[in-house]
Amino acid sequence: MSDLTRLSAAELADSLASGQTTSVEITQQHLDRIAAVDGQINAFLHVDPDGALAAAAEVDRRRAAGEDLAALAGVPVAVKDVLATTGLPTTCGSKMLEGWIPPYDATVVARLKAAGMPILGKTNMDEFAMGSSTEHSAYGPTRNPWDTSRIPGGSGGGSAAAVAAFEAPLAIGTDTGGSIRQPGAVTGTVGVKPTYGGVSRYGLVAMASSLDQAGPVTRTVLDAALLHEVMAGHDVRDSTSLAAEVPPVVAAARRADVAGLRVGVITELGGEGFEPGVRARFDESLELLAKAGAEIVEVSCPSFEHALAAYYLVMPSEVSSNLAKFDAMRYGLRVSPEGVVDPSAEQVMAASRDAGFGDEVKRRIILGTYALSSGYYDAYYGSAQKVRTLIAQDFENAFAKVDVLASPTAPTVAWPLGEKLDDPLAMYLQDIATIPANLAGVPGISLPVGLSEGLPVGLQFLAPALGDDRLYNAGAALERLLTERDGAAFASLIPELEVAR
């Protein structure tokens, strides 16, 4: 039997459609792969073999009955543990929600199910999606399949590592400041943050409501487009969901033509602080694009300089409010304060929030509480929201001149576990290139463009709001150019893991 875990989702969909394989077979192979390698990777917090196989059998039955099925029907998917799943634990990587089983499905999850996609399990993440290394998970870090002594990025390190380790062909991530794209870059996978409002946030446990967006995590650009079309579209349960048509992302990924495409290189992103190896791969990619007919121009976005600072005010402010609901009253961890006889609800809340949240979460809650507090609001939160306007204006000006913007996704390749854990600011700097898109609500894609010191490097394209299709066109074109140059798809470079028996 061939190893189905090495196929792309598009290839799996084709072989399902032609009857060469079944969803049960595909799903079983991925479950086996998880059992074999996840001990080293820790990409999954929960695996659901029974649920996944039952869904696979159901879609096989429907296919056999000749029913009209969605393009990815039968292709299994892993879901970041920040999306609510009926009957499956949803912990957000936190002790606070250990054992919490939601009574409802996130809209994205409901759409995966409606498309007949078996859900393999829930993937590891930095607690409540706060971090760039997945080391802030309360359930142990995820390891990078390229080098298991290194971090897989974050917060969605679990989804990225699961896909890179062939434990899942597809995964769902969420991106608030780069949590899909930066893990994509450091694990050599493709990750897309759609236009804000393009994918429903209903059932996505909020970190920062005005920044969060769920998106696809895959090994190829076409796979990302296929998954994007399943996830995206208007949802009446999310007031910030856009009523517009989903951009034609699959068609764009198949077109993959950059002739005449104007690509803007962001002056402010890619210089100081970016490793030479990262810059080299980025520059080579631009040359490939230019040779294929793209017009490369430099574009300045001066306010991006302040994006990180604005982000670390807006995000924690929203965090401080969004995470207030975790108070031990209706669900989640309840802890009584030590040494207090007959404690009050107030004391139990405070003790539970101390015990249930990790350091990074508490740091951001306190920071956000400060930024919103009386007397500081205008100076911090208010000023940050104005910087946001300036960043959006920079994007607007840039997209008046170019079709897409490009930058390295992350300043560095994957670093050793623990290296930045005690230096929050160094960790925050990882998001310097990804954050502007979240602040302005525009879409971005990261795709692998080569190796530096044997570790993957990512390139990011950004497009105007609802121009997600441009990302897929440019991304798929670059992916093809790189494959042609190297004579092999990037995923074939992923090192083999030891397989547990």
Partner 1 sequence: MSKTAVSFEDALTRYQPVMGLEVHVELNSATKMFCGCPTEFGAEPNTQVCPVCLGLPGALPVVNAKAIESAIRIGLALNCSIATWCRFARKNYFYPDMPKNFQTSQYDEPIAFEGYVDLEVDGEIFRIEIERAHMEEDTGKSLHVGGSTGRIHGADHSLLDYNRAGIPLIEIVTKTIEVPGDKAPAVARAYVNYLRDLMVALDVSDARMDQGSLRADVNLSLKPLGSDTLGTRSETKNVNSFRSVERAVRFEVGRHAEILDGGGSIIQETRHFHEADGSTSAGRPKSDADDYRYFPEPDLAPVAPDPAWVEELRATLPEPPADRRKRLQAEWGFNDLDMRDTIGAGALDLVADTVAAGAAPAAAKKWWLGELARTANEQGTDVSALAITPAQVAEIQAMIDAGRLNDKLARQVFVGVLAGEGSPDEVVTARGLEVVSDDGALSAAVDRAIENDPAAVQKIRDGKAAAAGALIGFVMKEMRGQADAGRVRELIMEKLG
Partner 2 sequence: MKAMSSPEISRDDVAHLASLARIELSDDELDRLGADLPAILEHVKVVQGVAGADVPAMSHPVPLTNVFRPDVVTPGLTPEQALEMAPASEEQRFLVPKILGEE
The yes or no reply on residue 377 touching partner 2 (CB under 8 A) is no
Q: Output the six-digit token pair for 120.
A: 């393999």
Distances (CA, A) of 260 to 92, 128, 292, 399, 404: 43, 42, 9, 15, 12
Which entry of 8, 23, 80, 303 is annotated as an active-site residue? 80
**Nearer Cβ to partner 1 (373/492):** 373
- Name the minimum Å distance from CB 310 to partner 1: 14
When binding is defined by CB under 8 A, the residue of 210, 300, 452, 483 that contacts partner 2 is 210
Which entry of 133, 179, 303, 407 is annotated as an active-site residue? 179
Cα 411 from chain centroid (whole Å): 17
- Name the minimum Å distance from CB 121 to partner 2: 20
Letter string b/e over residues 104-128, b meaning 16 or more CB atoms within 10 A of that residue's CB:
ebbbbbbbbbebbbbbbbbbbbbbb
Q: Which does 101 bind (CB under 5 to 8 A by kind): partner 1, partner 2, none?
A: partner 2
When binding is defined by CB under 8 A, the residue of 139, 304, 312, 472 that contacts partner 2 is 312
Q: Which does 202 bind (CB under 5 to 8 A by kind): partner 2, partner 1, none?
A: partner 1
**Nearer Cβ to partner 1 (25/235):** 235
Q: Which does 384 bind (CB under 5 to 8 A by kind): partner 1, partner 2, none?
A: partner 2
Is 155 tagged catalytic? yes
The rounded distance, in Å, linking the Cα atoms of 358 and 356 is 7
When binding is defined by CB under 8 A, the residue of 40, 254, 343, 489 that contacts partner 2 is 343
The rounded distance, in Å, linking the Cα atoms of 500 and 42 is 13
The rounded distance, in Å, linking the Cα atoms of 83 and 413 is 28
* Residue 446, beta-bridge partner list: 191, 460
The yes or no reply on residue 397 touching partner 2 (CB under 8 A) is no
Distances (CA, A) of 220 to 233, 240, 278, 314, 456: 22, 29, 20, 32, 14
Q: Output the six-digit token pair for 264.
A: 């803007």
- Only one residue has tokens 């236009």, namely 195
When binding is defined by CB under 8 A, the residue of 177, 188, 203, 441 that contacts partner 2 is 441
The yes or no reply on residue 303 touching partner 2 (CB under 8 A) is yes
The yes or no reply on residue 173 touching partner 2 (CB under 8 A) is no
Q: Which residues, other chains included, contact 411 with Cβ-Cβ below 8 Å and sequence gap of 6+?
A: 273, 274, 275, 278, 429, 430, 432, 433
- Name the minimum Å distance from CB 37 to partner 1: 30
Q: Which of 15, 473, 459, 56 is nearest to 255 (CA)?
A: 473
> Given the rule CB under 8 A, which residues bind partner 1?
83-84, 90, 92, 97, 100, 102-104, 106, 201-206, 208-210, 236-240, 317-318, 320-321, 324-327, 329-331, 345-346, 349, 369, 372-374, 377, 381
Which entry of 94, 132, 137, 155 is annotated as an active-site residue? 155
Stretch that binds partner 2, among 19-27, 73-81, 220-228, 377-385 (CB under 8 A): 377-385
Q: Reduced to 3 DSSP states, what percent helix, strand and coil does the chain have, rounded to the nearest 5?
A: 45, 15, 45
Answer yes or no: are the C-beta atoms of 293 and 360 closer than 8 Å.
no
Q: Which of 171, 25, 96, 109 is nearest to 334 (CA)?
A: 96
- Name the minimum Å distance from CB 236 to partner 2: 6
The yes or no reply on residue 365 touching partner 2 (CB under 8 A) is yes
The yes or no reply on residue 483 touching partner 2 (CB under 8 A) is no
The yes or no reply on residue 2 touching partner 2 (CB under 8 A) is no
Q: Which of residues 84-123 bind partner 2 (CB under 8 A)?
A: 100-101, 103-104
Q: Which residues are catalytic?
A: 80, 155, 179
